[in-house]
Amino acid sequence: MERRKKMARILAIVLTGLFIASAVGIASAHFTMIFPSDSQATIWDVAPEDYIAELGETKTVYIMWGHPYEHISFDMASAPEVSVMKPDGTIEQLSTEQLTVDGMDEEGNPGTFVAYKASFIVDQRGDSVVFVEYNDEGENLIDCTKAVIHCGEEDWVGWDAEVGQKTEILPYMRPYGMEEGFVFGGQAMYDGKPLAGAPVEVEIYHTLDLGKEIVETAEKMFPYDPPMMFTRLTKSNEDGEFVYTLDEPGIWFVGATMEPASGRNIRGVFIVPILEAFPPVEEAAAPAELEGVKTRLKALEEETATSTQATPGFSALAAIAGLFIVVYLVKRRKD
Ligand SMILES: [Cu+2]
């Protein structure tokens, strides 16, 4: 009787565990979001331009904890350590201020969440690397995140700096002027040495509305494993190197995790702002472009008709055919 009770209790514990695991359900990776913003009201509208500064400007970064892809927020469990490495290599430690930001919890309910902010003056041309260390006991993680603030035309100095994080990403690609579809690569380091065979997570941030919509679509299209679309995964090679194509415009998180046999995981994350394709496809220019092609087409037709030759030359026909293709393509692009 006693034994049966014990077995029932164990079974209950196992079932509860399974239930909790399934209830937590779809979850992508947690990331420490370093979003520069002029005011708290606009933190979630972060764009690549927010990582650009003017000389003398006071830059404020907001630091949030959550799932960027799904726009899910969590309270930060401890105050992050925030520093900035200036282009000349000097390091300034920044004081942080706790605040609460609006967001959505894991169950999809709106709420407020503990976050932090820190400010510094951009007093040198070049790249200032903001680096944050955040300790989360619940996730068994020490998270070391870097974001580059760029200042000055052609002052491309400092973006690849090694700031001395326990696990650190050294970028191979300059993180500004990067467009959608560009490849990002880097080297994962642990204790100053290449971190081989480490999992590298890659994830883009979404605003709340877009996040909800895209998660719903992924759940419909890939019901067997929606998070495979939220958090992309690759590995570092023997030299700690990795590459991944960042295929959409937005703010990307690329993080390599050192998983020790015991103790807390230590991850190094690099934030990569990705621009829309350049040059842009200009919708407004299309009608004018179409008019221009039509005029040229008419002129060619008249020229051919009034030609002294009985039949138009091959080159004229080819030109007309070419222009028709252009008209078709322009029209198609407009649809
Ligand atoms: Cu997570």
- pTM of the shown model: 0.78
Could you tell me the distance, in angstroms and rounded to a whole number, from the CA of residue 180 to the centre of ligand 1? Answer: 25
Residue 42, φ and ψ in degrees, nearest 5: -115, 15
Q: For residue range 148-157, what is the model confidence (pLDDT) as tens digits?
A: 999 999 999 9
Three-state DSSP class for residue 34:
strand
Residue among 270, 257, 131 at smallest CA distance from 200: 257
**Strands in 54-153 per DSSP E:** 58-67, 72-74, 81-85, 91-94, 97-104, 110-121, 126-136, 141-151
List, in order, residues 6 or more apart from 73 with CB less than 8 Å away. 64, 65, 66, 101, 103, 104, 105, 111, 113
Residue among 271, 212, 244 at smallest CA distance from 50: 271
For the chain, first and last CA: distance in Å? Answer: 74
HEC string of 227-253 equals HHHHCEEEECCCCCEEEEEECCCEEEE
| pLDDT reported for residue 26 | 43
Question: Does residue 84 or residue 3 have the better pLDDT?
Answer: 84
Residue given tokens 């350590």 in the structure block: 81
Confidence of residue 281 (pLDDT cuts 50, 70, 90): confident
Say which range, 5-14, 76-85, 280-289, 306-315, has the weakest mean pLDDT. 306-315
Could you tell me the distance, in angstroms and rounded to a whole number, from the CA of residue 220 to the centre of ligand 1? Answer: 21
For ligand 1, a single-atom ion, the residues with CB < 5 A are 27, 30
Q: For residue range 48-106, what is the model confidence (pLDDT) as tens digits?
A: 999 999 999 999 999 999 999 999 999 999 999 999 999 999 999 999 999 999 999 99
Contact assessment for residue 123 and residue 88, using Cβ atoms and an 8 Å cutoff: no
Could you tell me the distance, in angstroms and rounded to a whole number, from the CA of residue 267 to the centre of ligand 1? Answer: 13
Could you tell me the distance, in angstroms and rounded to a whole number, from the CA of residue 334 to the centre of ligand 1? Answer: 40
Give the mean pLDDT of the chain: 87
